[in-house]
């Protein structure tokens, strides 16, 4: 249930925080001179794709993908040799199904679905031949977790269910044909498990007092008395990748005695380890493995861009052939049959629309399946450029810059004129930005903005020194990295210091709030999407099933159970500096968000109200941590586009019916954004 709209006195000091009409006009003039490229409709960028997420059944008899049914993304199935005979096998009417995967027996399609964004996912299955659907985990306020599948026991999977204790996922054996659930072992204290091809739990991972992980051998559900491997917080990126089919080899990613994680093969009988791959630039762990044996065939190095390296030369020959056929871009393989004779493949050309194909390896034949967003085929998409930015203390920040076509006519990544810029900050913060097609980058660049995404310290994938440099640095060195990136962009002639906005979701939303509170005049405006404002209340309200990760979060952010930790968290919380805000702020929030509760947005809005500081606050009663429904995604981006246009002067597609078509509740500040109040009123 959503909360009632927040009330606000009508007497507000607008001049202090909103751009004047003259300022907005000057900014708009600067942006429009970038070029007169066609405006890409928001619906083409953020609406439902025509098709997406294609998969092959393990036996190669079936194709499946996601596609709309009455405007809601559902699962479709077709015979592999007759893609045009596809039919929908699910009928979700209220919320998109986030994805799907095949059972080992190729008879059931499996998918998870929550309720209005609450992330209490249930596991469902559909019998491909009969269309019968089954709820395998019919429990309220429970989140299912996939633990293991098998090439041998194809009618069964192992799932984690936290219905006994919401903090821990007990391991259950699920029979996909009968729906029978059988308890294998309780999960008390464990963050996760590793299973083999016989569906035996072999390893258990338990958080330790050092903020790292202890790994225990498990046999017949019994856990060893002592761990055989332990890590500290510094090396917590270390962990298992998976067993080979015969269970004799366990692959690991491991950062101990090195900076970046390397891939090792461990002989499970002797414990001997063999180095498979390493790279000084980036953490390794993404692999392609033999569909029959489970042996590593290739590994990816993802530093600025993704580079595949091949252990198996036959696999390399396939990739080389596909590259020649598909052209420039990163070739990707999203699905393989168990016989490995057919693949689902595609290519990411970044500034062109990607297509998805069925690849017959033996016949060396590519059969087109679909273009996910055909509306973009003739759209003026622009390149993304990988850049390295140096922080004030010498760290290299791998980053991604997208420029409007008029500001970079030869597409070399060097700005020919300064334009307004949006600093787009990723979530996590223990995640990363990467190279490839990015709808948000394309949208903002099309509106006349340069877009910069920065992998700041604490981002994952760049080694433990880079990751751990962010420990307890929320609002401090992590924020400095973002400021250093802005200064770099100004120095490079990308933008000017007075025309930079900051925008992001989750941690990126926090960064937007920090930008306006810790450095009040650095950014012209900010867009916060589901961002925490008070780190104490954030950690106090995390979902119970995050229990295993609490110690690590405390170690990386500040421990709320200690006085020193509370002081760190309070100092890093934008809420307590809300009175410092002097620039426009837009907030978007899902009412059912289990990670960053609605209260995180409510409380900073209330603090701004108390000081008569304007803020526009948009609440979605049927969303969680981000906006999954296309009408809400399009609607909020329409509001954000209008907001940025008013602040920075970029091009704006009219609001039209987008806000009315969404479930948006303008909880506060509709009058602060031109046209929003009228656009939001229901007819």
Signed CA dihedral, 391, 394, 397, 402: sign only: positive
Contact 86, 68 (CB under 8 A): no
Of 559, 625, 662, 668, which one is the catalytic site residue?
Answer: 625
CA distances from 408 to 149, 307, 441, 446 (A): 49, 26, 15, 12
Q: What is the DSSP letter of 223?
A: E
- Contacts with 597 (C-beta within 8 Å, 6 or more apart), sequence order: 537, 541
Residue 494 in 3-state DSSP? coil
Pairwise CA distance, residues 87 & 83, whole Å: 10
Is 506 considered catalytic here? yes
- Contacts with 288 (C-beta within 8 Å, 6 or more apart), sequence order: 296, 297, 298, 299, 308, 315, 333
Q: What is the DSSP letter of 210?
A: T
Is 334 considered catalytic here? no
Of 593, 601, 602, 662, which one is the catalytic site residue?
Answer: 593
Cα atoms found within 13 Å of the Cα of residue 514, Cβ hemisphere only = 29
- Where in 378-442 does DSSP place strands (E)? 384-390, 396-402, 421-425
Of 103, 354, 459, 506, which one is the catalytic site residue?
Answer: 506
CB neighbourhood size of 582 (10 A): 13
Contact 537, 576 (CB under 8 A): no
Radius of gyration of the chain measured on its C-alpha atoms: 25
Is 625 considered catalytic here? yes
Contact 537, 603 (CB under 8 A): yes
Owner of token pair 């998409």 = 381
Pairing of strands 342-348, 330-336: antiparallel
Contact 250, 264 (CB under 8 A): no
What are the catalytic residues?
506, 593, 625
């Amino acid at each position: 249930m959503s909360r009632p709209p927040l009330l606000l006195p009508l007497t507000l000091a607008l001049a202090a925080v909103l751009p004047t009409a003259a300022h907005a006009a000057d900014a708009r003039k600067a942006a429009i001179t970038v070029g007169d490229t066609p405006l890409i409709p928001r619906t083409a960028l953020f609406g439902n794709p025509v098709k997406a997420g294609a998969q092959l059944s393990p036996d190669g008899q079936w194709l499946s993908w996601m596609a709309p049914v009455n405007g809601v993304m559902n699962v479709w199935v077709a015979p592999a040799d007759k893609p045009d005979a596809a039919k929908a096998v699910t009928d979700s009417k209220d919320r998109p199904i986030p994805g799907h995967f095949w059972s080992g027996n190729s008879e059931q399609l499996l998918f998870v679905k929550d309720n209005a964004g609450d992330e209490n996912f249930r596991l469902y299955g559909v019998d491909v031949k009969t269309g019968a659907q089954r709820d395998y985990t019919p429990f309220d306020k429970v989140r299912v977790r996939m633990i293991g599948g098998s090439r041998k026991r194809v009618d069964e999977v192992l799932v984690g269910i936290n219905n006994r204790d919401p903090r821990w996922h007990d391991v259950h054996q699920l029979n996909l044909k009968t729906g029978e659930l059988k308890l294998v072992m309780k999960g008390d204290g464990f963050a996760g498990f590793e299973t083999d091809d016989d569906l035996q739990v072999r390893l258990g991972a338990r958080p330790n007092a050092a903020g790292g992980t202890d790994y225990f051998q498990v046999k017949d559900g019994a856990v060893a008395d002592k761990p055989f491997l332990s890590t500290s917080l510094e090396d917590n990126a270390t962990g298992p990748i998976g067993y080979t089919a015969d269970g004799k080899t366990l692959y690991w990613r491991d950062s101990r005695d090195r900076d970046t994680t390397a891939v090792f093969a461990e002989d499970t009988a002797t414990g001997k380890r063999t180095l498979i791959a390493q790279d000084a630039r980036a953490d390794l762990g993404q692999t392609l493995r033999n569909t029959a044996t489970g042996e590593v065939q290739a590994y990816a190095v993802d530093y600025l861009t993704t580079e595949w390296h091949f252990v198996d030369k036959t696999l390399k020959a396939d990739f080389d052939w596909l590259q020649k056929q598909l052209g420039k871009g990163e070739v990707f393989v999203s699905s393989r049959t168990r016989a490995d004779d057919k693949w689902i493949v595609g290519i990411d050309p970044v500034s062109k629309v990607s297509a998805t194909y069925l690849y017959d390896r033996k016949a060396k034949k590519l059969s087109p399946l679909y273009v996910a967003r055909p509306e973009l085929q003739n759209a003026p998409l622009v390149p993304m450029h990988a850049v390295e930015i140096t922080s004030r203390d010498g760290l290299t920040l791998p980053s991604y810059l997208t420029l409007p076509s008029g500001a970079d006519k030869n597409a070399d990544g060097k700005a020919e004129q300064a334009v307004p810029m949006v600093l787009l900050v990723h979530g996590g913060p223990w995640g990363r930005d990467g190279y490839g097609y990015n709808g948000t980058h394309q949208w903002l660049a099309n509106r006349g903005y340069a877009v910069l995404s920065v992998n700041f310290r604490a981002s994952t994938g760049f080694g433990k020194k880079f990751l751990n440099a962010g420990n307890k640095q929320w609002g401090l060195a992590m924020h400095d990295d973002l400021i250093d990136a802005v200064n770099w962009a100004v120095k490079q002639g990308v933008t000017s210091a007075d025309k930079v906005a900051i925008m992001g979701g989750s941690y990126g939303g926090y960064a937007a709030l920090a930008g306006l509170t810790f450095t009040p005049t650095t950014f012209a405006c900010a867009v916060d999407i589901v961002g925490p404002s008070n780190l104490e209340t954030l950690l106090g309200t995390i979902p119970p099933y995050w229990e295993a990760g609490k110690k690590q979060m405390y170690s990386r952010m500040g421990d709320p159970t200690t006085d020193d930790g509370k002081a760190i968290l309070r100092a890093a919380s934008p809420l307590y500096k809300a009175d410092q805000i002097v620039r426009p702020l837009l907030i978007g929030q899902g009412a059912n968000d289990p990670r960053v509760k609605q209260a995180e947005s409510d409380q900073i809005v209330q603090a701004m109200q108390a000081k008569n500081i304007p803020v526009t606050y948009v609440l979605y009663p049927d969303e969680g941590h981000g906006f999954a429904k296309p009408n809400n995604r399009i609607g909020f981006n329409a509001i954000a586009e209008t907001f940025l246009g008013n602040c920075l002067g970029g091009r704006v597609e009219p609001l039209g019916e987008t806000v009315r078509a969404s479930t948006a509740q303008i909880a506060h500040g509709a009058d602060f954004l031109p046209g929003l109040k009228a656009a939001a009123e229901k007819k």
